[in-house]
Structure 1
């Protein structure tokens, strides 16, 4: 799969950026260093001025790629879910047993992420930490309905819909496949956050991962 992914370009909605950051060395550097800087100082304190100082470029050069830091965060999230979708598709495409396919899909979207060496300018492990903390900030805005109409969350919804389809394969009569799939995908981010920061209100820890929890939950929930 790594060989295949190394030749794939993750597609991000063109309306999110002004200029495709994948089209230039500077653009890739903006993506690479923004991930590291957001992880270091948090999205609230992150600014294009600080990023410009980090990469040795004018603040105005970053605006040639993104009109705001919100759009940059949308780009990072869209890229992440696109990468996640590729992993999901390639890891389950040849599996014939529906339950084994579902278990694999759940593992992929809930497991701790390690860096993918095939994407040199993006550290997926660090990006995953950003997604855990920041992803809901792209959704919980007054502009969410308009941005949804523009297709900004399409790839995120595709990931969930693929899991919905697999749930239907396992149990076509289960009535809440959409709610269950979306709860797994977004809930796993929350459980990873609790595991790292609010340990007294989760059973997830070094011995019991969010993946363990959701595998147990889903299998018991949809069993015929």
Structure 2
């Protein structure tokens, strides 16, 4: 089967082309494609584990099976940052799979993953859903600053943060944080620090949709209509 791969930003510059068509055996996965890409384009090998991949315009994990005619994109983190700090805001589903590959290293004895999940209650009232709104450029910049501050406090390897915006249902993850270090104590402490600082300083707002009344923006004394 044949799969089209699209390249962006640094990936595009490394291979000196916008897209390529690769032949793969039937039943191949995204992980198989990553291997084929590294063999076909050695210059892109160091990007393989540092970017996100989409298949037919949806983010996909390494074990996703590919079909003939699929379009795969190599997508660098939209917020930029260094190898040790990544942060982005997205309307897509977020999970452990988004941040874990970005923080794991061969030197990491501890990898801590935190998922903030929408619960069905708040302040003693039933909650049906949450809506998150953000000022994305500033939110991403501030999250990167928080990640770098964590690096300054503890001997960490990498930090990655993905925050979802839009309408979320009960059980959906609103944020995924990954932290790696040589030892668990530093990783746990840094992960908690990053979450606390994001809630305090990052321009992301949460609207609670009550089961028994009008929706309410958290932190706003006046209830929203």
Query: Structures share a fold, TM > 0.5?
Result: no
- Work out which of the two has the higher radius of gyration on C-alpha atoms and give 1 or 2: 2
> Greater share of helix residues, 1 or 2?
1
Structure scoring higher RCO (CA < 8 A, sep ≥ 6) equals 1
Instruction: State the TM-score, normalized to the length of structure 1.
Output: 0.28
Instruction: State the TM-score, normalized to the length of structure 2.
Output: 0.28
